Structure 1
Amino acid sequence: MAEQKITSVNVNGIRAAVKTRNENNPGMLPWLAETAPDLVLLQEIRASEKIARTALAPALDDGWHLTMAESSAAGRSGVGILSRVAPSDVRVGYGSDEFDGAGRYLEADFGAGDDRLTVASVYVPTGAARTENPKDVEKHDEKVRFLDSFGPYLDGLLTSGRDVLVAGDWNIARDERDIKNWKGNRKNAGFLPHERAWVADRLASGWVDVVREHHGDVSGPYAWWSWRGKAFDNDAGWRIDYHLTTPSLAAKTTRSHVDRAAAYDRRWSDHAPVTVVVQR
């Protein structure tokens, strides 16, 4: 059996992520070389594939493969998969006329036959609480439509009979353990009752939140902190980046961790990478 490290991270713009910010923060690329994952699922690339390949050129020159689904809206969304070996098959979107061109879901197979592993990178819309503001209504309803169409597709993957992992920025904190200030966010997007119920339905159907399984009944581990104020220093974060796996793959997942930066000025994204390790 071989060990595989699968990381997911919202890069908050690939060009910003790879940029050297200061002498203590050379950006994403040194992190990639030092941590040496096998697969990296990227969200919010916010660039065309051509621009993303330019930004990631040192990694691609070093042998990484980039598979990407860019958004039809320039500078928005975009998901991708960095892998040490080329995927055997790639699928963009999940069969939605509205969202397949939005750069929100990318699925790839690695290996073949009984050894095939399917991984997917997902970027769920941020949404908004439904108010009288038309923009809030639009954002709220967009997220509802995404969840309503994506949920049945996800549950269908459970019947594939193969190992599947779907990870990314879900923009939903499951419960009180997943958000530091949960009392103050009960009416905010990302912690609304219908959003949390949607995640609960996925888990009830058979998906496993493996990072929660490994860490147990504790607060966090958080992987997103606002750039504003002292949120990072006080660890006032959200756990909205997680890996859902089929039960068969969950049984092979041995450990997980959040790669939290050592200090505020060493962050190259407002999200931290989340990694799971599987034995296959």
Structure 2
Amino acid sequence: MKLVSWNVNGLRACVNKGFQNYFDAEDADIFCVQEIKLQEGQIELDHNGRYEQYWNYAEKKGYSGTAVFTKIKPISVRYGLEEDYEPEGRVLTLEYESFYLVNVYTPNAKRDLARLDYRLAWEDRFRHYLMGLDKLKPVLVCGDMNVAHQEIDLKNAKGNRNNSGFTPEEREKMTQLLEAGFVDTFRYFYPDKADAYSWWSNMPKVRERNVGWRIDYFLASSRLKPKLADARIDAHIMGSDHCPVVLLLSDD
């Protein structure tokens, strides 16, 4: 089984920059996107009936939002965390026979950290939500989690130590989530791989020089380790300030 996750930073814009070509070429079983930045009726993607489509739009126009395209019809779909509602469209949960898939766009603490307290409280809610699901069946989590967990996960760790996405508080929340029974699948396969990033700022030549951050993840319940086949980051794929990340699961 192949799963893909991509923060598209505006799906309509990304469609004009080759999204469909990548989507078709990958032929994923489940394809998750974040930061769609659109409302219902503003885009129509025709996959010849091969994919079920589920959308969680933000109330605010041109902001946030998530979507999942899946060849496998889910048993159920939830839009949000505790309640079946999420005003910023940040979470989509699809229940399958043997696992839950959670597509997430974690809130950004903002450059001046004005939203850090909100972010940290949200992280606690999200972790408890995942732990609740994990008691029922294994969980796969994917999306833009807006944190570089370890120093190896960004180019300039020293210079970003107290910046949004690399504060000690945000990094600790990721540590707590992993300690709650989840594994960072990319680091599971490539614990020491440096210069592996999924996001680059729009400053000139930053992406060209690969001055990036790894903030897009596939996490898995620890008991899914025997099913993990490989993980990769498709850094060569353009169309967004993020690139797609991929998880492969064995079928046996």
Identity %: 33
Residue aligning to 1:206: 181
From 101, 111, 126, give the equivalent of 1:150: 126
Asked if residue 36 in structure 1 is aligned to residue 48 in structure 2, the reply is no
Per the TM alignment, residue 272 of structure 1 is displaced from its structure 2 partner at its CA by: 0.7
- Is 1:249–1:278's contact at 8 Å kept on the other side of the alignment? no
One-letter code aligned to 2:86: D
Report if the CA contact (8 A) 2:33-2:66 is conserved. Answer: yes
Q: Give 1 or 2 for the bigger CA radius of gyration.
A: 1
Which residue number in structure 1 is paired with residue 11 of structure 2? 14
* Deviation of 1:145 (Å): 2.5
Unaligned runs of 5+ in 2: none
1:117–1:164 Cα contact (<8 Å) kept: yes
Q: Distance in 2 between matches of 1:78 and 1:128?
A: 17
Unaligned runs of 5+ in 1: 21-26, 131-135
1:195 aligns with 2:182: no
Aligned residue number for residue 38 of structure 2: 47
2:74 aligned with 1:92: no
Match of 2:154 in 1: 179
RMSD: 1.7
Moved over 4 A (4+): none
TM-score (norm 2): 0.93
**Aligned residues of 2:123 and 2:173 also touching (Cα < 8 A):** yes
8 Å contact kept, 1:128–1:189:
yes
SS in 2 for 1:49: coil
Amino acid of the structure 1 residue aligned with 2:19: M
- Taking the aligned partners of 1:66 and 1:88, their CA distance within structure 2 comes to 14
Post-superposition Cα deviations, 1:158-210, rounded to whole Å, max 9, x if no partner, equal 322x2310110000110101011111101100000010000011111111111
Q: Give the one of 243, 260, 268 matched to 2:235.
A: 260
TM superposition score normalised by structure 1: 0.85
In structure 2, which of residues 211, 214, 225 is the aligned counterpart of residue 236 of structure 1?
211
Which of these residues, 99, 103, 118, is aligned with residue 121 of structure 1?
Answer: 103
Determine the C-alpha separation between the residues in 1 that align with 2:29 and 2:159. Answer: 38
Structure 1, residues 207-245: CA drift from partner, whole Å, max 9, x if none? 111111111222242111112211111111100001110
The whole-number CA distance in structure 1 between the counterparts of 2:111 and 2:233 is 28
Q: Distance in 2 between matches of 1:270 and 1:8?
A: 14
1:64 — aligned with what? 51
Give distance in 2, aligned partners of 1:96 and 1:226: 34
CA shift, 1:246, in A, is 0.6
Shift of 1:109: 1.6
How far is the alpha carbon of 1:64 from its aligned partner? 1.9
Equivalent in the alignment of 1:269: 240
Which structure features the higher share of helix residues? 1
